[in-house]
A = this chain, B = another copy of it.
Amino acid sequence: MMLYRPFENKLNVLLSEHGMQRAQWTILYYLYHFGSATLVELAHYQGVEKPTVTRTVNRLEELAYIEQVPSKDKREKRIMLTQLGKKVYVETRVPIDEFEAEILKGITEHEQLDAIRIMEEIRNNIMK
């Protein structure tokens, strides 16, 4: 139940040491791996409400990490990473990977995959 909280807190600290915030990082992560997204898509991915995404996206735009891409549907705002955004993602990835390696010490790859699979099942149950 409360197992994950320390992980979350440490990650926040780690990210802010690199001038990044978790909510921002989550979106960079999504865009890096999925190319582009609308705000609703991001809200669903993060499991938060739309205004929350608007805020984070605004900050990312000010930082010039993302830019808008044209879309047929004039309602939606589709965004993608800029060159700078990609650069920042890749650079921030390094300490994140180190952190992950550290906290996964002593846990076999098989166990890791098991845990991730189960967590994903839980996630699916939550999201539906």
Asked whether A69 is an interface residue with its Cβ less than 8 Å from the other chain, the reply is no
- The closest CB in chain B to the CB of A49 belongs to B9
Least distance between A39 CB and chain B CB atoms (Å): 17
Report Cα–Cα, A2/B12, bound state, in Å. Answer: 12
- The closest CB in chain B to the CB of A2 belongs to B26
Asked whether A94 is an interface residue with its Cβ less than 8 Å from the other chain, the reply is no
**Of A6, A100, A120, which is in contact with the most chain B CB atoms at under 10 Å from its CB?**
A6
Task: Report which of B104, B121, B127 forms a contact with A122, defined as CB distance below 8 A.
Answer: B104
Asked whether A64 is an interface residue with its Cβ less than 8 Å from the other chain, the reply is no
Report Cα–Cα, A102/B127, bound state, in Å. Answer: 11
Given A2-B29, A4-B4: A118 touches B125 (CB 8 Å cut-off): no
Binding site for B on A (CB under 8 A): 1-10, 26, 29, 45-48, 100, 102-107, 111-112, 114-116, 118-123, 125-127
